[in-house]
A and B are shown apart, each in its own frame.
Chain A
Amino acid sequence: MPLNWKTGGVLLGFVFFLAVLLVKPIGVSTQFVILDAMVADAVNPSLITQTDDGAYTSTNAYLAKSGGKYAKNAANPLNYSFVFVLAMMAGAFLSAMARGGVTKDERRLPAVWYANYGDTPMKRYMVALLGGFIVVYGARLAGGCTSGHMMSGMMQTSLSGYIFAAGAFAAAVPVAMMMYKKEA
């Protein structure tokens, strides 16, 4: 059972506040691009280059945009935003372990999938793969995800956060209702 929503909500709000107080608002989805760029640059070192004045750029237009900030972060993996995502993973791992871990059945197949589609893990993994593709493609097109646009954005009263949340829920609610007719 998760935390009571009042406790959980205040705790989560405090983490978002802490981030903006100490550094900057939380965001995640950019780091998928950064990891891709790190791998691609390792395979093909001419992808990211440094000019004589020290600035970074790339042959890929997306990595080169906004003064090459993505190219720069991919060339310097020990940057705040990338380490942040690795630390998130560590935090979730430690928290899950501390509460006894996710059950073996859940780790293999979430209950809501089992209730609707039975014992079909391969099908579930393919849906997760395809879902991941659409989610991150959409997040990059939008310029942020649930963390950066919806939570950090609406918290700062940014117009884009509201536009993003409207789009996300307009699609998510009908898809969830159609795909998962049985509750669990």
Chain B
Amino acid sequence: MSIFLAIVIGVAFGATLDRIGATSPNWIIRMLSLRNLHLMKTILLAIGTGSILMFAGQMIGVVDVMHMSVKSAYAGVFIGGLMLGAGWAASGYCPGTGVCAAASGRKDGWFFIAGGLLGAAAYMVTYPSWKASGLLDNLAGGKVTLGTVPGAKYDGLMALSGDILGIVLGVVFVIVAFALPERLNGAGPAPVAAE
């Protein structure tokens, strides 16, 4: 059953990434260079939609709170984020969109995957030094959510009701998606080269 769900949800995710333009380096770089924020608006709306549905689902008891999986906060999250961001902008791919781009026939996507496998291997080898450096030590309680989600195995940073805060923040993401202009950098209509 779990393999069946992996196939159904995986196929849906890959197909959606293809249809929103996320597997194209052109659209990723238009977004990151702030010349065309179409993909940014898509992503913000997706986070908002997902958040509202998930927390509302938890409140009415449809979504199992135990399905939440919150990652630890530590200094390395920010450093790793900086690294990922630099490589994301240079290549136009992140791990998920890179594998999808390769599958859709983009040659550079296969080079990205090869680089990714080498990067993962390098991390496996250098992990003990990061661990010893203390940069992987939890900050602010580690696996925490911003509010306190009822029934969750994670602590809240604030005593606020976590599910209501989740819905409120979800609505904020949706509002920002609508409010964001088409472009922030440069003049004229946002670029949309034919592909």
Tell me the A residues contacting B by CB distance below 8 Å: 1-3, 5-6, 8-26, 28-29, 32-33, 35-37, 40, 60-63, 65, 78, 80-81, 83-96, 99, 101-103, 106-113, 121, 124-149, 151-173, 175-177, 179-180, 183-184
Contact = CB atoms under 8 A, between A and B. Distances in A.
Given A80-B2, A94-B15, A143-B72, A163 B94 contact: no
A138 B95 contact: no
Contacts of B57: 17, 21
Contacts of A168: 81-82, 84-85, 88
Given A136-B116, A167-B79, A176 B29 contact: yes
From B35, B44, B63, B98, name the one whose CB has the most chain A CB atoms within 10 angstroms.
B98
A160 B17 CA distance: 23
Contacts, number: 519
Given A139-B80, A169-B85, A160 B72 contact: yes
Nearest to A110: B25
A29 B101 CA distance: 15
Interface string B46-77: 11111101100100001100011111111011
Contact of B195 (A103, A136, A149): A103
B103 interface: yes
B42 to A, nearest CB: 4
A143 B77 contact: yes
B81 A166 contact: yes
B192 interface: yes
Contacts of A80: 2-3, 5-6
Contact of B10 (A85, A152, A161, A183): A85
Given A111-B195, A136-B120, A92 B104 contact: yes
A156 B100 contact: no
Given A33-B124, A89-B102, A141 B79 contact: yes
Nearest to B34: A173
B13 A15 contact: yes
